[in-house]
Structure 1
């Protein structure tokens, strides 16, 4: 008997390797992905009961390869192209993988797969789903659960993404130098979005989706292992590690959300903080400095502060001002406004937030109301703080965030009623 969790972790590690072998040999990503998924299902069923084979990767390659042959034959039969089938249909000896397939299995195709799944031809939603399925090894059901959509809907999304790749004629190889930078930006963006959804779920009863944040970090480590000299790759990994290091203290005994200022910092992961600080310290001098490195530097300043009161807010504000020049985002502007309040006072922060009211990307967003409520609370205007906390609670679909925001409003309202 083999531990189910160990099997699950191993399969997620092996999935992109096996997919790379088949996609490279057959030149058909979509069918190869189907074959690998069936191989993963067979392994997930057999290995916990029968134990791991001596060569798990070789076992999975052989099973997926045989299934690939069956799928190719079925497709040839469906199209009824007898002349083509006569030339291409493998004989019985080809049911076993050729000898050199074990050699090619040693190649790490993770980065190629990430580039393919994050192709500009795909929408961001499709790229995320396909990345988690093909590179992360998550099942369609797991991805659908994480993004709170029916499994059939997610299956259609993934199927359309694979069909888009099939019809686009994307070759299974690293993009050329001219295309690589733009495609790498897309890869990092997708990984960052997956991590954020895992770190703070956009909806539902759970604050976190650990399977998503963990998978994003695992894939970021894989990219960093292949491109260790890329400063933004290093910056993204550092940002994820430093942010995730605070996760043990983000919730209380009943799962309630705990704000950064109120967290028990002794519960933060000191080893992860040390790793993240080392990563960003090494990346910054190499340059050029990009948004992920700047955000990682901000996260490091938060993580290294012994207490909330000792946070280096002037340095954080300076970094947010630099970040705004690199990344014109309303979320960055919102965070810069909060940092402004911590340095120059809540009134200055509220003035900075006013500009976001006219931004259609942020107007009406719960984070804008929550930030304004926090600054009004700092200013001592309890009534305005209560109104904004309640408005924020009514605009988020995350139940932990709703509970936190309503509790803040209730406590302030009670204090206001008592005249405290």
Structure 2
């Protein structure tokens, strides 16, 4: 069996599962947030009653990250709704913002769910995670089956701790629709956990149901101080069957961007050098981790110049925000990211949140987020170019989409 099939086998308490099977899966972690939580809770109460109790208050994780740091009454209503539910149910892992008097994050606030889940030790090899957010697949970096589900499925999970899934294998012929994508090889083994999370995060943009990377020493080291829950990693058998295998020579890869209006509208960064940009955005669950900001700082440091367009920095979590002010950037003589960003003329890093990933300006923007559909970052006429932190930083320095190798040679 493949890794995903083995995880399903354990979670369904079956000795063997096969492509095409429908199985009830025991859930290890169920995540929702302030954006989808109210809808999920509404279905839960409607179907199971106002007095219904969740199946396990220690396996549900609720995070405030989407509609926060705002005085909008409807956004605050969402947060109040999930807060009341967590108090009522005694949810152990409710990562609240708690103090909204000045709309700044308090020290206990976590940040964007997909990064916070990893940092708080909820991503464990061999387990099953479902979440009411399509980028839940990020957790596949830990050798965990992780996928996004709808509010109704999550509400059923609240009550039973189970979810009905079809074994990955019966697939369409286009893209990665409903496929499990497994990443292996020397390049994957050389990646840090944050780099692996970025890779798995984007699988849903190819239509993938989930992604997995075999747990190894890098995984175990990351988890050492983050969880005391025992876990059991699984690995694909040598004889495991896959729909297709692709071999990529990483040494031949070049910086790329995704042009408007789809993540698969790929082009080399150097081919877009005439595209003038109005602003640059570095943040989100995809590009707002500590290593993403270190990458951007490396470009700014190598350049020594100031940005030519407004450059916004939104760390994914409170820990990342702290890292920007405390961790020295390699080769900088002890300077932190925040010092380098300030010298380059970037905006001051904001409090952690999903930020403009789910709403922004009517502009041409180079962004480290994960989607560039019309209206995704705000106005339907916005032109969003998805890029790595390296490319985003280089583009900020020139005012045009720029291959970062121009500054890093």
Structure 2 length as normaliser, TM-score?
0.31
Compare the two structures and name the one with the higher strand fraction.
2
Q: Structure with the greater relative contact order (CA < 8 A, sep ≥ 6): 1 or 2?
A: 2
The structure that has the greater radius of gyration is 1
Structure 1 length as normaliser, TM-score?
0.31
